[in-house]
Structure 1
């Protein structure tokens, strides 16, 4: 219900004059090209139609739904692919005495659990991050359109970094609520020896021991980890993409092939991912330790770990998150290409703002 309200608000915002859709059920269709031309020229009426070659209209419910699908595919698959590295990273965070380094962590895990031990937690990872991806990418597009319409075209350009930060933070707030139960189960499986080997074993045990709170006790530190991470992920990506096309790519985006555009997307995603890992790592360590220990609070865990302990496992996480973020943006953009979705170019200064700046320059 809440998601439907957000989608409707984004699509039908009263501030959304450039993209606003008005449905007139009783109005007859124009019969001639002259009549259609007059209709298009009306300032407050615009026909709802996808651009030539696109499968949907930008800002429509169909568009937002496909963005959510792209998020499921990009997040669910990529996080599942790096489960072995994630498992070792979590064990480095919660038991550094036993797992002394990344390579040592892999060696100990293989010796104790075999090759199959490296896949522990894959099911809650796939389910949890698919749900998170649906909300993260789908709602990001919703909030970005909604907030930009609220502040107007010129302010949306001038304050675009703040717009990306606000939209991504809003989306991640809901995404983490969807992720939290599966994240708790994943960490429990990966870091508590003998507790459970599968999701089907873990869920009833966690419910029996701690009740529903077992699945949401890590929600606040998850917000602390994921919201800064996602804000950096989207804002850094959007601005890096803009800078790459402006200063690095030797030709305009419109002249690049789809393959060339996807390469630029991957590069911008990897740069964003490195910063994401650094910004969110202390909270990630707390989440891993918190879900291992029953009855502990996030503050207790942070105090016990100390400043240096909060940065345990940073290097494998940089590798993991950098690769993940790049792959997610690549897959997400590739899904948009595959589904023939609108892919607006990096933002450009509105003509109205150019005129205002020109008047200011001319008056000096």
Structure 2
């Protein structure tokens, strides 16, 4: 019997494994500092608006007033300095939260790209990578934010509760312990994770859309004004998305701060309040919040990019489809 011819061996496929940037601890420290500064500046600048908004939510005397009328009422009765109540916890809270969120997003996006294993898979599953990286980064950032946000709410809602950040934080920790400091953790997660998803994911896809028909040469030679316009437009649209996605939880958090809802676990209270509000109720006041959030998110991205450049930080990891390179 004739010997069967030996099967020709197939040439092994060329590996498509890609090399991702190996960010150093120094790089992450720059990402953290840029994120910290951009968030503390933008949120700190919003302190007067936050004060009026919180007081409208909890003070019956202000319940039916607009932001402008509420601000005038507070200034007339308590002086202009009252509009800066809670500035310390806001500035410090979003300093640590912003640093952890932006640096965390860069870190987890890189980790998930490595898990994908190759360039094609990373591009194919980029939406899942954006969603996962923004969610995980925000979760850990909110661990840092929640105690300071609890302190801010106490300072704004209870006059004479404390003289500032340190005294307010220590009093809350002493009287209510860890439970009091983290009582609002679940509502904050429900609000901040959808917010971060809209902020980062939509911003990524806006940049992808803007760059889709550009050559590499065009991208490299973009003028500063064109780059600014793309970053501003992407940030504004991402801000709209962040506001829409987080609006239901923001509405419920306002109701919780007012003391509304039944007794019981936080999950039970949020569920009952959501049913009572209905779809339209959950999205009440969305328009003004979209405008405010668009300015906040766009400002953060513009500042983040500018501070990163000033610090000499490397560019973040890109997995846009039109670039097809990470």
1:332 equivalent in structure 2 = 304
2: CA distance between counterparts of 1:104 and 1:157?
A: 49
1:137 equivalent in structure 2 = 102
| Cα 1:248/1:112, change in 2 over 3 Å | farther
2:90 equivalent in structure 1 = 125
Deviation, 1:304, is 4.9
Q: Is the 8 A contact 2:17 2:119 kept in 1?
A: no
Deviation, 1:261, is 1.3
2: CA distance between counterparts of 1:348 and 1:248?
A: 12
1: CA distance between counterparts of 2:245 and 2:257?
A: 21
2:269 equivalent in structure 1 = 300
2: CA distance between counterparts of 1:175 and 1:351?
A: 30
What number of residue pairs does the alignment pair up? 301
Once superposed, which parts of structure 1, at least 4 consecutive aligned residues long, lie more than 6 Å away? none
Alignment of 1:244-283 (within 5 A): 244-246=210-212, 252-283=218-249
Deviations 1:74-106 (A, max 9, x none): 111110011111222223333476232222221
Q: Is the 8 A contact 1:289 1:301 kept in 2?
A: no
2: CA distance between counterparts of 1:127 and 1:231?
A: 23
Which of 182, 205, 217 is the aligned partner of 1:216?
A: 182
Which of 170, 178, 186 is the aligned partner of 2:144?
A: 178
1:90 equivalent in structure 2 = 54
1:201 equivalent in structure 2 = 167
Q: Is the 8 A contact 2:37 2:95 kept in 1?
A: yes
Mean alpha-carbon deviation: is it higher for 260-269 or for 194-203? 194-203
Q: Is the 8 A contact 1:229 1:280 kept in 2?
A: yes
Q: Is the 8 A contact 2:151 2:168 kept in 1?
A: yes
Mean alpha-carbon deviation: is it higher for 80-89 or for 57-66? 57-66
| Cα 1:226/1:89, change in 2 over 3 Å | same
Deviation, 1:297, is 4.7
Q: Is the 8 A contact 1:225 1:284 kept in 2?
A: yes
2:23 equivalent in structure 1 = 59
| Cα 1:310/1:89, change in 2 over 3 Å | farther
Structure 1: runs of 5 or more not aligned: 1-14, 21-56, 353-364
| Cα 1:145/1:137, change in 2 over 3 Å | same
1: CA distance between counterparts of 2:226 and 2:319?
A: 15
Deviation, 1:247, is 6.3
Mean alpha-carbon deviation: is it higher for 273-282 or for 213-222? 273-282
2:19 equivalent in structure 1 = 19
Q: Is the 8 A contact 1:89 1:316 kept in 2?
A: no
1: CA distance between counterparts of 2:251 and 2:140?
A: 21
1: CA distance between counterparts of 2:145 and 2:190?
A: 14
Deviation, 1:165, is 0.7
> Which TM-score applies when normalising by structure 1?
0.74
2:7 equivalent in structure 1 = none
Deviation, 1:181, is 0.5
2: CA distance between counterparts of 1:230 and 1:63?
A: 22
Alignment of 1:5-44 (within 5 A): 18-19=18-19
| Cα 1:242/1:271, change in 2 over 3 Å | same
Which of 308, 320, 323 is the aligned partner of 1:347?
A: 320
> Which TM-score applies when normalising by structure 2?
0.82
1: CA distance between counterparts of 2:324 and 2:148?
A: 47
Q: Is the 8 A contact 1:273 1:322 kept in 2?
A: yes
Structure 2: runs of 5 or more not aligned: 1-14
Q: Is the 8 A contact 1:191 1:292 kept in 2?
A: no
